[in-house]
């Protein structure tokens, strides 16, 4: 019951962010499906977002200055928007790849290897 009674701080959020980040990395590193890799990327971005939002929040830090203020949330917004853009393009690329190679296995996309 300790966690329940003690008030939540930035660090807890950061732990969540870290876990999401790392699982995203693992996802990127292990999935052979291009869309899986894409999901990994989303996860990573969200891990980062969690940290930003947490740092910009007034409730999570003792100093009432509210951490980095609104910057965190603004940056989080930008990250979200850009993630959307990135997803759109990535998806388009994947579909193209699928059209041309009849597969979405990233290990097969090595025509340009040295």
Partner 1 sequence: MEDLHTVLPFLLGLAWLLPLASFTLIVLFGPRMGAHGVAASYLATGAIGSGFLLSVVALLAWGLSSPDRNAAMSQPAALEGHGEHADASGLDQQGLDHHGGGHHAVTPPRAYSGEWYTLGRFGKLKITIGYYIDALTIGMFAMVTLIATCIHFYAIGYMHDELHDVTDHEVTLSDGQHLRRPGRFHRFFQYMSLFCFSMLGLVIAGNIAMVFVFWELVGICSYFLIGFYIERKSASNAANKAFIVNRVGDFGMIIGLMALFASLGTFAFGDGVDDKGKPTAGIFSQVRAPANHYALQAPASMVRAAAAARVRAIVADHFQEDAEELDEAHLAAPAKPARKRPDFDKIQAASESEIAAEIADWREQGYGYWLLVIAGVGIFCGCVGKSAQFPLHVWLPDAMEGPTPVSALVHSATMVAAGVYLVGRFYPVFAPEVLLVIAYTGAITLLLAATIALTATDIKRVLAYSTVSQLGYMMLALGVGGWAAGMFHLITHAFFKSLLFLCSGSVIHACHTNEMPKMGGLLKKMPITGYTMLVGCLAIMGAGVPFLIGLSGYYSKDSIIAQAISFQQRNPAHGTVFFYAAAGGAAMTAFYMFRLWYMTFLGPPRDHHIHEHAHESPTIMYAPLIVLAVFAAVIGWPVFGVTDLLEQARPAGETGQGVLLASLAYPNEHDSHAPNIHMQATLYAFSTALGGFLLATVFYGVRWLNPNDVRQQFGAVYRFLLNKWYFDELYDAVFVRPARGLAKVIASFDRLGIDRLIDNLARWTRGLAGIDDLIDRYLVDGAVNLTAGWTYSLGRSLRSVQTGKLRQYVMLIVIGTVALTILINFASAK
Partner 2 sequence: MNWHSFFFLLFAAISCGFAVMVVLSSNIVRMAFYLIVSLGATAGLFFLAGADFVAAMQLMIYVGGTLVLLVFGVMLTAQSPFVSMKTSGGDWILAFLLSGSLLAFLIPAAFSVSDWREGATPAVGSVDAPPPRNTADRLGLGLLGVRVDKLEDRPAMLRAGMAGYLLPFEIVSVHLLVVLVGAAYLARTKRRAG
**Terminal CA-CA length for the chain:** 56
Instruction: List the single partner that 81 binds among partner 2, partner 1, none, CB under 5 to 8 Å by kind.
Output: partner 2
Angle at 75 (CA atoms; ends 91, 71), nearest 5 degrees: 175
Cβ burial of 99 (10 Å; 0-12, 13-18, 19+) is: exposed
Q: Is 113 in the site for partner 1 (CB under 8 A)?
A: yes
Smallest distance from partner 1 to CB 88, Å = 19
Q: Using CB under 8 A, pick the residue from 11, 32, 89, 95 that binds partner 1.
A: 32
- Closest approach of partner 1 to the CB of residue 3, in Å: 27
Contact 47, 21 (CB under 8 A): yes
Given the rule CB under 8 A, which residues bind partner 1?
25, 28-32, 37, 106-107, 109-114
């Amino acid at each position: 019951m300790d966690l329940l009674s003690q008030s939540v701080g930035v660090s807890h959020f950061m732990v969540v962010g870290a876990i999401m980040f790392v699982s995203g990395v693992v996802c990127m590193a292990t999935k052979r499906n291009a869309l899986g890799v894409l999901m990994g990327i989303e996860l990573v971005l969200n891990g980062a977002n969690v940290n930003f939002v947490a740092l910009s929040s007034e409730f999570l830090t003792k100093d009432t200055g509210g951490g980095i203020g609104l910057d965190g949330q603004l940056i989080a917004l930008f990250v979200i928007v850009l993630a959307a853009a990135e997803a759109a393009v990535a998806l388009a690329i994947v579909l193209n790849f699928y059209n041309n190679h009849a597969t979405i296995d990233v290990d097969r996309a090595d025509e340009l290897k040295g």
